[in-house]
Amino acid sequence: MSDAVWVLGTSMTRFGRYPELDAVDLASRACMDALADGGVTIHDMDVMGAGTLFQSQTGMGQRVQKQIGQTGIPVYNVTNACATGATAIRTVYLSIKAGEAQMGLAFGVEQMGKMGLLRGGAKAEEKVFEAAGRYGAVTGVDGILGTETMPGVFAQAGMEYACDYDGVGFEQFARVAYKNHQHSTLNPLAQYRKEFSMEEIMGSPVQSYPNTLLMCCPTGDGAAAVVLISEERLRSMPAEVQKRAVKISASVLTSDPWVESGQVQPDVNTLTRNAAAQAYETAGIGPEDLDLVELHDCFATAELIHYDNLGLCEPGGAGEFIDSGGPFRDGRTPVNVSGGLISKGHPIGATGVANVYEVTTHLRGEAGDRQIEGAKVGLTHVIGLGSACGIHILEKAA
């Protein structure tokens, strides 16, 4: 018998703003729905993985248990920047792989509200300059020695690709956002569901060129959950439950290896390439076999470079790939048919679980208006700056 791990149940809240709820409410809702989706209860779970970034020191897993069932199982509260959700899934996946658990629940949650621009501290007027920190800085350096803001850092990641390869510029980056906004109109769980023209996207306020406002993901609230199960336990489940289960063909987590420029500009490329290579080898497939991909488009400039990092296009060919319609939902390899982070939203801890929800839903043939017909294999990808990359390859039950 295979020792594969399967997705038994999954759910997500619509991403958006929930000022009347808290993160525990959102996570509990996603967890209860994922358990019901799998036809199981918290009493069937052997382990829990709980992911949140901004509430990582609050015992989120245990707080959710107090809402949905305190059964005494081990809880792993994890945080790993924007790869937090994927990391929560992997703690459960590894527990099952290790033979310690037969079934487990992983969730990710975030409540960000209108947090606005992340990173880049406000300028403080020092009364007396005094060296502090690892670089002996006497004042805040954001805006003086380059940018620390996320739209700027990811703009630079995209512009570095534009420096190395022809056919990549403002228009190609904008087309990524055009696609994802368009895709989100079909997703009832997306935070925003409005289509924008290329002119509107390119003409919206510039945050960090080439990223305009409509090329940046919003902050927001939301939660997502998955129930994972061992192959052995799955085979004891009713036939109709087995039929909806989705196989995890690869689960990979990498960190950023040394590169020369890594100390001044986070490298989101090498660890993605390494994770993709491992995932494709483990799953025994190549990028040409993928029917859909949910990748980490925190900014339009980020999505474009990951076409190349994940092998979805020829080396250096990300500009041509988007220009030719390759990642659109009717293209060669549909990317972010959910609307992606740019329009579906990016409540950080939930993101890496929500993209597994999305791909699973397509592989089950249950994605409604946004269904990619006949989808059999899909890939999810997240990047957390610092850096961490999580990739999962999912396959429809045979």
Partner 1 sequence: MTQEATEAVEIPTQLPIVDYLRIGDDPHLAANECAGCQARYFDRRNACARCGKEEFRSVRVADDATLRSFSVVYRAAPGIPVPYVSAIVLTDDGTSVRANVVGLGDPMKAELGMRLRFTTFTCGTDDNGTDCVAFGYAAA
List contacts with partner 1 (CB under 8 A).
Answer: 117, 120-129, 131, 134-139, 141-147, 149, 151-152, 155-157, 159-160, 162-163, 205-211, 258, 260-261, 263-265
Q: How far is the CB of 16 from partner 1 (least distance, A)?
A: 22
Give the C-alpha separation, 91 to 244, whole Å: 23
Cβ 250 vs Cβ 395: under 8 Å = no
Element of type H or E holding 378: strand 377-384
**Could you tell me the two tokens for 205?**
């306020």
Q: How far is the CB of 97 from partner 1 (least distance, A)?
A: 30
Nearer of residues 152 and 345 to partner 1, judged by Cβ: 152
Nearer of residues 294 and 297 to partner 1, judged by Cβ: 297
Give the C-alpha separation, 113 to 131, whole Å: 35
Torsion of CA 194, 198, 200, 201, to 10 degrees: 80
Q: How far is the CB of 144 from partner 1 (least distance, A)?
A: 5
Q: How far is the CB of 173 from partner 1 (least distance, A)?
A: 11
**Count, residues in the chain:** 398
Taken in order 218, 224, 229, 235, is the CA torsion positive or negative? Answer: negative
Cβ 103 vs Cβ 228: under 8 Å = yes
Q: How far is the CB of 365 from partner 1 (least distance, A)?
A: 42
DSSP-derived secondary structure letter, 25 = H
Nearer of residues 130 and 314 to partner 1, judged by Cβ: 130
**Could you tell me the two tokens for 264?**
């001044």
Give the C-alpha separation, 109 to 210, whole Å: 30
Nearer of residues 128 and 398 to partner 1, judged by Cβ: 128
Nearer of residues 3 and 130 to partner 1, judged by Cβ: 130
Nearer of residues 205 and 238 to partner 1, judged by Cβ: 205
Nearer of residues 43 and 134 to partner 1, judged by Cβ: 134
Q: How far is the CB of 153 from partner 1 (least distance, A)?
A: 8
Q: How far is the CB of 257 from partner 1 (least distance, A)?
A: 9
Q: How far is the CB of 99 from partner 1 (least distance, A)?
A: 34
| Maximum pairwise Cα distance, the chain | 72
| Strands across the sheet containing 5-12 | 75-78, 47-51, 103-111, 221-230, 5-12, 246-255, 388-396, 377-384, 292-294
Nearer of residues 147 and 278 to partner 1, judged by Cβ: 147
Residue position matching structure tokens 């090498």: 270
